[in-house]
Every structure is written in C-alpha cells, then in structure tokens.
Amino acid sequence: MDEQLFFKKLDNLCTSKEIFYFLSSLEIMSDTMASGALQRISEVEADDNGLKNPGLLENEVFRALCFQFEFESSNLSNTGLLRALQALIKLRIDPQSTLMTRLLSESEERLGRGQLTAENLCALGESLLELESPSCETLEQIVSHMQEKGIERWSPREIVMVYKILQVTVREGKHWQNLLNRLNSVTLHTVSQLSPNFASVILNSLVVLHQTRAVPLVTALCKHSVKHVPYFTDHELVNVLEAFLYFGQKVQIFTKALERHVPKSICTMHPQTVSKVMQYCCKKMILSKPIFDAVAESFISSADRLTTDQIAAYIIPFGTLNYLPPSAASLFGKLEAVLHTRLRHFQPHTLLNLLHSCALIQRYPINFLPKIFSPYFLQKLQAQPPGLNGVAMSQLTQLFLTVTLECPFYEGPKLLSKYQVKACPTPHSSPDVHLFKRVKTGLLHLLKKRIYFASEVSTPYFYVVDIEIKLDEEGFVLPAAQLEEVHRRIALCVDGQNRFCAHSRNLLGEEAIKQRHLQLLGYEVVQIPFFEIESLQNTRKMADYLHKKIFPCTYGLSN
C-alpha cells in the first residue's frame, strides 16, 4: 500500500482493535509504516496514567511488529527507529527489555557516528527524557550535535528539548551557563511563536535552572502567557504560576485573564491548580473577588475530596487578604465540618496557619483552640520544622489575644505565658518610611512640639502603635512620656500601600486584626491611609488633614 494512503487510513482508526485488524490485512509494510502504526497505537491506548488496555501487549500483530523492530534494528531508517522508540516508551515497554535495549543502543551508535539529522536528534532527546534515568552522557552528546547546526536556526521544538535536557544534566552538576545565555537570547526572538505547552516548559526550565538574570526573556514569556491562559493544561498553568512567583513578575493583564478563566473552569480544574492560583493571589496580595468567590463555591461542594494541604491553600488567602465572600456562612460552616472529621490529619503548622487565618477575618475557631493550646500539640509544633519560630509564636499569641478580647465566653485552656511573645512585627507591619515622615512633620506643625506624640510605641499587648497621642480628661494633649492622668490614648495607624491588597483599598488581614484589637484594648484608632494623604501637597495641608482626622470636635474652632 502507498505510504500516504496508509497513514491517511491509520489516522482515522480510533482503537487498537481497529488498528490491528487493518495491519493484519496488509502483506508488507515499510519500517516507517510499522513505526507509524506503533505511534498511532500509543496515541489511542496510552495516557498520563499508563496503558488503558494492558492486554494489547499480548496481541499477535503487536508482538510481530516488536519482533520486526528487535531483529531488524540495524536496518531501520532513522525515522522508523526513533518513531518506534518514542511509541514504545509511551506504551511503557520495559527499558531493560531486549527490544528497548537494542533500539536504544542502535540510536546511540548512530548518534556517535553523527548520522542523525536535527529532527532525529530532537526525537531521540524527547524519547530519552521520558525515561526515568536517561544517560546524561547521551543527552550531552545530543546538545553538542545540536550546537553544530547553529543555535540561531533552532526551531521552537528544538529549543524546548534543549532546555529540558539542560534541566536534567544540571541536576548532575553540569554547568551550561554560556550555552544558556545564548539560548535565552535566541529564545527571546521566538517567544511570539511558542505554543502554550512550549511557553510553560521554558518558564519551568528557567525556574529550575535559576535563570534570574534572563529578565527580558522571563518578562516576554509572562506577557505571552496571558493569551494562553484559557488553553493551558492544569500542569502547564501551575508551571506558569510558579514562574510568576519565582521571578516576582507582576502582570495585571495576566491576573485579569485568570479572573476570566478560573470562575468558568474551576469545576474541571485539578485542586492542586486551584491551590496554586490561590497561592499566587496570596503571595502577590491580589484580592480578586471573581476568583475568591469561585474558589469559595468550589470548596463548599468539593472540600471532602481535598487533601489537608489543599484545604489550607484554599482558605488561608481569605484571611491573609481580609475578604469574606458572599457565601462566607456556608464556606466556614463547611470548613468547620471538615475540621471536625479530619483534624488529626493536619500537620501542626498547617493547622495553626489555617486557624490563625480564620481569626483574622473574625471567624473564630473556638472549638479547636483547646487542641491548639494543649501542651501535646505545642510539642508537636516544636518538633516539626520550622518549629516554634517567631511566626508560629506570633500566631499563637494573636489567637490567644483574639479569644481574650473578642470571645470572652471562651472557657477552654489558655496559652501558657512561655509560648506568648511581647511583640513580633509581621512582614507588612512596618510603616511606609516616606509616608511616616510626612505624617510626623504634619503632626509637629499641628501640635507645635515633638514631645506631644511618640512613634513606634510598643504596647504590653503584642502590638506596636505607629504614633501614640495621650489626652487628659478635658481633651488636652499630654507629653508622650507622661504616665499619670492619661484619660484617652489615640493610636494613629499610618497605613501605606504595603498594608493593603494590591491596587486596592482593602486592608490586609494582619492590619485589620491589629486595629480591631487596639480598639478593644482601649485605644481610639485613627486610620491614616495612603490614598487620603498622597495628594496633600504641603505641610500645612497635612496638618489641616490631621487636625480634622484626630480632633474632629475642635476642627474649625481655631480657624
């Protein structure tokens, strides 16, 4: 049969049974046709989970095909040899079998003799990368031969294959930075041609290979990824999100693309992909209500199928970014039900992070705090890396403060004082230096003397107050150092952009709980957000703003 007609018929067959029936009707076929048949069998019978029908390996026609390749390996064309090798690897044929050993040996011999074209090299490289432990020596030979062709003439497929090879060989301690520099430069000019899969693979390689200096390429790939968001597989999207996180990329249009894609696709997305989307939003401080609302609904319907780490990944960002979705009652009701049945399955630090995030948004984990404050749990927390570090101690202390101040009805065990910290600054607790300086200058203009306010004041209750002003019973400002006759304490919270979600006026959870607790501790909390003062052009306007904000009752009396 004519090869063109053969492949046309083969492509229309959808099961191995149809393919075997078709092949048994032929008296003779070339090695290219035979390898094409193997390739089609692998396409219809193998997926990421393995063989759909392991019985096909015992089929007489299949065994005859394998026999031909095993005993005629030296007479095969390059295309026939390498296509058969790719198909048999996909069909999970044992790499130690005689058939595979002969095909691999023949491929390596032809590689050593320089008989393989660029396309052949690519096919061999892709096949070897599918094996569990490919020969690094052979992979390096492939790269060497590829370089002879001239790196500037490589196709996107060849570029991707070399990146993947370099990933494997770098693990063995090989250094290819000079080649990588050239490869990164060439790839930059082909970005617009890359498919979703190729873009994802290259971004993943750049992460694995620590290419932190390839900024132009990373930026171009991240921007290119925007249009592919609806077409990425789960695995590809995870790779892309990891690259955004690793390289610190911020592309707002990428987030917009996620906002369009995730709510529509969340029902079919793998939980690990949803977890990575939430991690991306959390790390970048992106409060995307369309994504968070969709994730909340997904959690309500699928929480019982999630792992404990996935449960934490779904929920923690709600607390971190201080957001309650419309379905909050059902969301946290479902979380409580899941915790009741699976509490003992959570790792100590995962459980602490999860319950702390709930407290940030006033979803008090009362029923689970006796466990958290128990000596047994605290010992487990200590034993699991990173142990009882500053972050864990701060979370424990803040949980204890939460039940003390916000849940006076709680009668369970208390947190022992040795596990409490006096103060522990969180990543976003330090005030914006420039903003802080402007506010202090404005206050000095308003109060005339520096002695009338104190900055960065440590309280006995864990929190640090940005600026504290003391007043006596009649409302007069007292010197900051005075301890007697203090009737009112005003806490100024100078909230720079670092205390808000990105591109938003929504306070982060850690700042929201701080201001809530300061109020319960007797402070009059006055928020000075960046967006209210960034347009104030001089000290007099700043002083005027602060007067109106801090002393609204007397504002206008002196004018």
143 — pLDDT class (breaks 50, 70, 90)? confident
Report the phi/psi class of residue 260: left, alpha or beta, with left for phi > 0 and alpha for psi in -120 to 50.
alpha
What is the Cα–Cα distance from 485 to 481, expressed in whole angstroms?
12
pLDDT the model gives residue 421 = 87
473 — pLDDT class (breaks 50, 70, 90)? very high
Q: Which residue has the higher pLDDT, 443 or 432?
A: 443
544 — pLDDT class (breaks 50, 70, 90)? very high
Residue 23 clears pLDDT 50, i.e. is over it: yes
What is the Cα–Cα distance from 381 to 204, expressed in whole angstroms?
33
Can you tell me the mean pLDDT for 119-123? Answer: 88
- For 354, the domain range is 349-421
Residue 280 clears pLDDT 50, i.e. is over it: yes
Residue 28 clears pLDDT 70, i.e. is over it: yes
Q: Which tokens belong to 516?
A: 């809530």
Domain-located, residue 224:
no
Q: Which residue has the higher pLDDT, 228 or 117?
A: 228
Mark which of 115, 141, 165 sits at the end of a domain: 115
pLDDT the model gives residue 213 = 92
Residue holding tokens 């003062």? 533
pLDDT the model gives residue 56 = 84
Mark which of 421, 450, 472 sits at the end of a domain: 421
Domain-located, residue 88:
yes
Q: Which tokens belong to 43?
A: 């396409």
User: Would you tell me the crossing angle of helices 60-71 and 78-90 to the nearest 10 degrees?
Assistant: 130
Least confident segment among 126-140, 308-322, 327-341, 531-545: 126-140
pLDDT more than 70, % of the chain: 97
- In SS3 terms, 172-186 reads as CCCCCHHHHHHHHHH
pLDDT more than 90, % of the chain: 71
Give the containing element (helix H, strand E) for 103.
helix 98-112
| CATH code of the domain containing 462 | 3.40.960
Domain-located, residue 240:
no
Whether residues 43 and 66 share a domain: the answer is: yes
| Tens digit of each residue's pLDDT (9 = 90 or more) over 290-319 | 999 999 999 999 999 999 999 999 999 999
How many other CB atoms are there within 10 angstroms of residue 231's CB atom? 12
Mark which of 391, 421, 451 sits at the end of a domain: 421
Under 8 Å between Cβ of 32 and 80 = yes
Domain-located, residue 233:
no
Candidates 261, 260, 256, 254; CA nearest to 240 is 254
Residue 558 clears pLDDT 60, i.e. is over it: no
Report the phi/psi class of residue 249: left, alpha or beta, with left for phi > 0 and alpha for psi in -120 to 50.
beta
Residue 249 clears pLDDT 70, i.e. is over it: yes
Whether residues 1 and 111 share a domain: the answer is: yes
Domain-located, residue 173:
no
3-class secondary-structure state, position 231: helix
Can you tell me the mean pLDDT for 15-29? Answer: 89
What is the Cα–Cα distance from 517 to 158, expressed in whole angstroms?
59
- The DSSP annotation for 403-424 comes to HHHH-TT--SPPPPGGG--SB-
pLDDT the model gives residue 428 = 64
Under 8 Å between Cβ of 36 and 83 = yes
Residue 53 clears pLDDT 70, i.e. is over it: yes
pLDDT the model gives residue 530 = 95
Can you tell me the mean pLDDT for 71-96? Answer: 91
Whether residues 368 and 397 share a domain: the answer is: yes
Domain-located, residue 276:
no
